[in-house]
Amino acid sequence: NAGVMQNPRHLVRRRGQEARLRCSPMKGHSHVYWYRQLPEEGLKFMVYLQKENIIDESGMPKERFSAEFPKEGPSILRIQQVVRGDSAAYFCASSEGGLTNEKLFFGSGTQLSVL
Amino acid sequence: RKEVEQDPGPFNVPEGATVAFNCTYSNSASQSFFWYRQDCRKEPKLLMSVYSSGNEDGRFTAQLNRASQYISLLIRDSKLSDSATYLCVVREGGGSNYKLTFGKGTLLTVNP
């Protein structure tokens, strides 16, 4: 499967723990986007990364959330000290060059549940 | 005002019915417009792009009115498999043209 791969599919954490969500973009894609979908809400942009660079993190909460896309390996969305309000579906998407008319390919998402 | 606003739904229609979804967007600098579908909290999948001249793909017709900042999707002869949440999506213009803004979605259930 050469699509966008996210893991884990489901992640359960207790309040105060850390959550790490992984995203491997499609082969040949160097642009990664993270979106969050809260229950009964639309997807909200969080962050846009290229290899080793954060291009736009305007949608990231100011605290506890961070993202990276290292030269080697998947993109990681990290949530420290999770709270119940972090429970959501987190979707990653990738594109080849970040151009206006490029199609984004979405992964299957990680469903985070905070107990 | 929400950036992308859709019919709240849900829509319940019998097989074979015609159903229309409406959407408005607030950013007049938006560049590109799409309809996505999402099944049971799975990943959103692109259904079709929306062009100013209007475009059709089989049973699906999309329209865009830039002056009114309005987008629509028409589904004719609906099938059971059309049951999903339909997302109106807008791509911003200018320096943020990589960013997609999603509406909350409208749930469609097609009944036998």
% of chain A exceeding 90 in pLDDT: 77
Query: Which residues does A89 contact at the CB level (< 8 Å), separation at least 6?
Result: A36, A37, A109, A110, A111, A112, B41
Contact A56, B96 (CB under 8 A): yes
Residues of A in contact with B87 (CB under 8 A): 42-43
Residues of B in contact with A35 (CB under 8 A): 100, 102
Cβ distance of B99 and A45 shorter than 8 Å = yes
pLDDT, residue A101, reads 59
pLDDT, residue A4, reads 95
Average pLDDT over all residues of chain B: 92
% of chain B exceeding 90 in pLDDT: 74
Average pLDDT over residues B79-94: 91
Which amino acid belongs to residue B107? L
Cβ distance of B98 and A41 shorter than 8 Å = no
User: B67 pLDDT exceeds 80?
Assistant: yes
Neighbouring-strand partners of residue B73: B21, B62
